[in-house]
Amino acid sequence: MAQAPARAASVVRLFDAHCHLQDPRVLAVAPSLIRAATAAGVARFAVNGTSEKDWHLVKQMAEEYPWVPERSPDWMDSLRRFFAETPEAAVGEIGLDKGSHGKTIDFGEQVEVFQQQLELAKELNKPVSVHCVRAFGDLLEILKRTGPFPAGVLLHSYLGSAEMVSSLENLGCYFSLSGFLTGMKSTKAKKMLKSVMKYVASLLEISEIELAEVTYKNATKLFSYHGSKVHNEVEAV
């Protein structure tokens, strides 16, 4: 979890629920990216690790403000040690993939590893960031078998069916949306998402600004587990 630098007050606060600022392709310019995002209203960032090789970079990122199918034989022991040494870390990203990348990895093996990671997250009472591509039926089955998850599960870039939402929500899931939802140009995507925001706000009988604040609070709640930077900041207020 990375905290953005202090910024001027803004009407709408944003929480980037899933990013990879430790990626070698952007690591060198991460400080400028953070400053630009902060100026645009992003108050917090959830930086997700991708393998054992970048866990230390995620930790470093939090202290300072792609797809990897390989793992070592003692990866679970390494993961436990990492959480013991870094209590502020959440679990993720983890998940299932039947897309072009995922097809190269045995799906049974994906399920086995994912199950173990979920069980560890539940044992440690940590929130989880989940990656899922064309495997939402399998995902729901595994979450039902392992859950519920009081600490929360973030399904980033959610592309599952609307019918699954209530079942996933009952298990402790949160949802974030991305441009993959639209397949549109940026301007069209923004227009569509704004219309969705208006619709949800009307259902809840609140303003769009209030809905944005509720969304921000939901993300803050998800990442305010004991030991996290968000938790410590909330406790200090």
Binding residue numbers for a divalent metal cation: 18, 20, 93, 131, 156
Structure tokens at 177: 């949306």
Longest dimension (CA), the chain: 52
CA–CA gap between residue 136 and residue 126 (Å, rounded): 22
Q: In what order do the strands lie in the sheet with 128-133?
A: 91-97, 128-133, 153-155, 173-175
Extract the annotated binding site.
Answer: 18, 20, 93, 131, 156
Q: What is the dihedral of CA 27, 30, 31, 35, to 10 degrees?
A: 180
Q: Are 165 and 130 in contact (CB under 8 A)?
A: no
- In angstroms, the first-to-last Cα distance of the chain is 19
Task: Please name the residues in contact with 56: beta carbons below 8 A apart, sequence gap of 6 or more.
Answer: none
| Nearest partner of 159 among 141, 140, 178, judged by Cα | 178
Rounded distance, CA 130 to CA 118, Å?
10
130 and 94 Cβ atoms separated by less than 8 Å: yes
